[in-house]
């Protein structure tokens, strides 16, 4: 194979051969630069020296790498229905949340926790009422709860709050102070009703006294009118004797009105006092009479045993004398 002829050009040895398109473009560019050294042009530059890999960029932009750490310890039971088997019996219920996968959404995590806690509670109840009188009732209750859990496991009803309508109003938990206020309100309402009934009773009792007081007020107003009329007519000339007699009668009535009212109130007070004392007086008098009758009957029965008539007369006279002395004030 013959080697191509080498030509010495200065200090550079150049192998002559067919010029490629890149060499032609480079020579054209250099010639243009030599012809117009003052012109400016945009020269495209490479983005990077290494090739751009889109897959690597996407991986770098992602939040994190896929890891098999979250799948560690998963059981085969979670493949079909999505329900994981119960944790070990030594695991307390307050640590169940640590064994739930973080890849699940919040409703599914809550569902998983609810199922685990419910199944563990059912097992505890089964052991508790195993050999007791309430075993049949407890078995019925457990069967009902088991049906509900099966429906929840088979997604027959959803407990997710993502499907909740935004306009739905969620009631807040009542404040403890509000509950105390409601209870206090009920107690005060009952007490108020009781006081209102008592007030109505007192008003009914005082109705009679109010009528009497109205009568007294009407009498006083009448007397005031009469006195004012007499004062106004005292300066006028007296036309007849009858007017003078009426005025004198009214004056006498005004003078005697106060003593009459005092005596009336005194009599009313005495009547009320006798009314209150009457039952006690009657009971005391009845007891005294019954005691005397009992003594007389006892003495008479003792005297009846004697056959002598003189002794009988003596006993009768003695009892009559004692009863007479007892009746004396």
| Under 8 Å between Cβ of 99 and 91 | yes
Please report the pLDDT score of residue 318 as a whole number. Answer: 74
Residue 259 has phi, psi (to 5 degrees) of -60, -35
User: How distant, in Å, are the alpha carbons of 11, 179, 182, 214, 245 from that of 176?
Assistant: 101, 5, 10, 54, 82
Q: Give me Rg for the CA atoms of the chain.
A: 62
Evaluated on CA atoms 175, 178, 182, 188, the torsion sign reads: positive
Average pLDDT value for the chain: 71
| Mean pLDDT in residue range 4-10 | 49
Coil, helix or strand at residue 237: coil
Q: How far apart are CA 113 and CA 120, in angstroms?
A: 11
The helix (run of H) or strand (run of E) holding residue 118 is: helix 106-128
The label of the residue with tokens 């206020």 reads 181
* Structure tokens belonging to residue 250: 């009214």
Residue-wise pLDDT for 159-215, tens only, equals 887 877 777 787 888 899 999 999 999 999 999 999 999 888 888 777 766 566 666
Please report the pLDDT score of residue 182 as a whole number. Answer: 93
| Mean pLDDT in residue range 304-328 | 66
Q: How far apart are CA 199 and CA 142, in angstroms?
A: 58
Residue-wise pLDDT for 225-258, tens only, equals 766 665 555 555 445 566 777 777 777 777 777 7
Say whether pLDDT at 79 is over 50: no
Residue-wise pLDDT for 18-56, tens only, equals 555 555 566 666 655 554 555 677 776 555 545 556 667
| Under 8 Å between Cβ of 118 and 145 | yes
Say whether pLDDT at 152 is over 70: yes
| pLDDT top residue among 146 and 69 | 146
The helix (run of H) or strand (run of E) holding residue 14 is: strand 12-15
| Mean pLDDT in residue range 128-155 | 82
Evaluated on CA atoms 322, 327, 328, 329, the torsion sign reads: positive
Please report the pLDDT score of residue 1 as a whole number. Answer: 47
89-94 contacts, C-beta under 8 A, 24 or more apart: 93/117, 93/120
* Structure tokens belonging to residue 255: 């003078």
| pLDDT top residue among 5 and 219 | 219
User: How distant, in Å, are the alpha carbons of 41, 157, 239 from that of 248?
Assistant: 143, 104, 15
pTM of the model: 0.33
Please report the pLDDT score of residue 179 as a whole number. Answer: 92
* Structure tokens belonging to residue 279: 């039952």
Say whether pLDDT at 76 is over 50: no
Q: What share of the chain has pLDDT > 90, as a percent?
A: 7
Say whether pLDDT at 9 is over 50: no
Q: How far apart are CA 228 and CA 234, in angstroms?
A: 10
Please report the pLDDT score of residue 328 as a whole number. Answer: 61
Say whether pLDDT at 143 is over 70: yes
| Under 8 Å between Cβ of 142 and 88 | no
Please report the pLDDT score of residue 80 as a whole number. Answer: 43
Q: How far apart are CA 104 and CA 110, in angstroms?
A: 10
């Amino acid at each position: 194979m013959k080697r191509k002829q080498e030509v010495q050009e200065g200090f550079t040895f150049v192998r002559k051969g067919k010029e490629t398109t890149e060499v032609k473009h480079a020579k054209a560019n250099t010639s243009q630069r030599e012809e117009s050294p003052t012109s400016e042009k945009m020269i495209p530059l490479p983005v990077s020296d290494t090739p751009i890999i889109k897959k690597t960029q996407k991986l770098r932009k992602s939040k994190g790498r896929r890891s098999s750490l979250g799948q560690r310890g998963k059981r085969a039971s979670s493949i079909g229905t999505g329900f994981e088997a119960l944790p070990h019996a030594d695991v307390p219920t307050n640590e169940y949340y640590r064994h739930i996968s973080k890849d699940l959404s919040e409703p599914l995590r809550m569902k998983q926790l609810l199922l685990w806690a419910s199944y563990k509670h059912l097992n505890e109840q089964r052991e508790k009422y195993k050999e007791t009188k309430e075993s049949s009732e407890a078995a019925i209750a457990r069967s009902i709860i088991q049906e509900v859990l099966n429906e929840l496991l088979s997604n027959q009803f959803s407990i997710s709050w993502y499907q909740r309508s935004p306009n739905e109003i969620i009631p807040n938990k009542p404040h403890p102070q509000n509950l105390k206020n409601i209870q206090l309100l009920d107690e005060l309402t009952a007490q108020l009703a009781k006081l209102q009934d008592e007030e109505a009773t007192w008003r009914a009792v005082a109705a009679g006294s109010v009528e009497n007081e109205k009568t007294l007020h009407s009498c006083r107003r009448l007397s005031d009118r009469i006195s004012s009329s007499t004062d106004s007519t005292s300066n006028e000339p007296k036309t007849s004797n009858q007017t003078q007699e009426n005025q004198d009668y009214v004056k006498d009535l005004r003078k005697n009105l106060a003593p009459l009212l005092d005596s009336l109130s005194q009599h009313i007070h005495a009547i009320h006092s006798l009314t209150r004392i009457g039952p006690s007086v009657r009971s005391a008098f009845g007891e005294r009479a019954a005691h005397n009758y009992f003594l007389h009957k006892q003495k008479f029965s003792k005297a009846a045993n004697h056959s002598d008539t003189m002794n009988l007369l003596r006993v009768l006279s003695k009892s009559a004398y004692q009863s007479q002395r007892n009746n004396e004030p």
